[in-house]
Structure 1
Amino acid sequence: MAEVTNELMYELLKRIQVDISSLKEGQRDLRHDNLSLRNQFHTMQGDINNLRGSIAHIEDRLDRIENRLELRELAEAQSRFEPNP
């Protein structure tokens, strides 16, 4: 078995320090990637909320148009005369 000397311990500690340093750098990269993904998710959620608002606005306008043209009443009246499947 090899003799354990101060120089051997010093070399081992230096290797451990290098390994820990690379692990810390990898962790920093992962944290940065995680923050980027979170920001993208927040942006996408904002876009989805904007789309929902636009759809609601379009539905409101369509309801007003149908009411003004009395299309709902015509559709309901016509459905009474169509045969049921």
Structure 2
Amino acid sequence: MPEVTNELMYELLKQVDQQLGELSQDFSEVRSELGPIRGHMIATEHDLKNIHCILARRVDRLDRIERFLDGA
């Protein structure tokens, strides 16, 4: 087993520091990509709520038409 020296520890710490820097950059990239995805999700949710409201109005109108036709 090789002897642990200050130089060896220093080299290992430099490698760990470099890998942590790369991970930090990767996380930053992922975070920047999540922003637009979150925006699209919010827009999709808004669209679905609008569709739901439109369908609810159509159902109400059909109910009124059915009541009118049943009474005629």
Please name the residue that 2:48 is paired with: 48
RMSD of aligned residue pairs (Cα, Å):
2.4
How many residue pairs align between the two structures? 72
Larger radius of gyration: 1
Q: List runs of 5+ in structure 2 lacking aligned partners.
A: none
Alignment of 1:6-25 (within 5 A): 6-25=6-25
Q: Which runs of 4+ in 1 moved over 6 A?
A: none
Report the Cα distance in structure 1 between the residues aligned to 2:14 and 2:26, rounded to whole angstroms: 19
> What displacement does 1:66 show?
4.2
Q: List runs of 5+ in structure 1 lacking aligned partners.
A: 75-85
Report the Cα distance in structure 1 between the residues aligned to 2:12 and 2:5, rounded to whole angstroms: 11
Equivalent position amino acid for 2:16 in 1: I
Percent identical among aligned pairs is 38
TM-score normalised by the chain length of structure 2:
0.67
Return the structure number with greater relative CO, CA threshold 8 A, min gap 6. Answer: 1
